[in-house]
Amino acid sequence: MKTLDSQWRTSSRSGHNGACVEARYADHTAQVRDSKDQAGPVLSFTPAQWIGFVQEIKTGKLEA
């Protein structure tokens, strides 16, 4: 895992329309929040959980 970076980031593929999620690495966790509700809840994942989630997205396992 890369070094800790507490800056929130959006995907370069999000289209910058405000309807996306933001993610960051902080406090040894991967954190995700709704870009439209930045003061709202934040989901936290262990590095292993986050890596597994991203891998499932890449392989198409989570497509509806």
The string of pLDDT tens digits covering residues 20-59 is 889 999 888 999 999 889 899 999 999 999 999 889 989 9
Question: Within a domain: residue 64?
Answer: no
Please list the residues that pair with 26 across neighbouring strands.
29
Burial class (CB in 10 A: 0-12, 13-18, 19+), 59: exposed
- pTM of the predicted model as reported, rounded to 2 decimal places: 0.71
Q: Cα–Cα–Cα angle for 37, 16, 40, nearest 5°?
A: 10
* Residue 30 located in a structural domain: yes
User: Number of structural domains, the chain?
Assistant: 1
**Is 28 inside any structural domain?**
yes
Maximum Cα–Cα distance across the chain: 33
Q: Which domain holds residue 36?
A: 5-59
Pairwise CA distance, residues 54 & 13, whole Å = 15
Q: Which residue has the higher pLDDT, 5 or 3?
A: 5
So what's the pLDDT on residue 1?
43
Domain membership of residue 46 (yes or no) is: yes
Of residues 43 and 6, more confidence is placed in: 43
* Residue 12 pLDDT exceeds 90: no
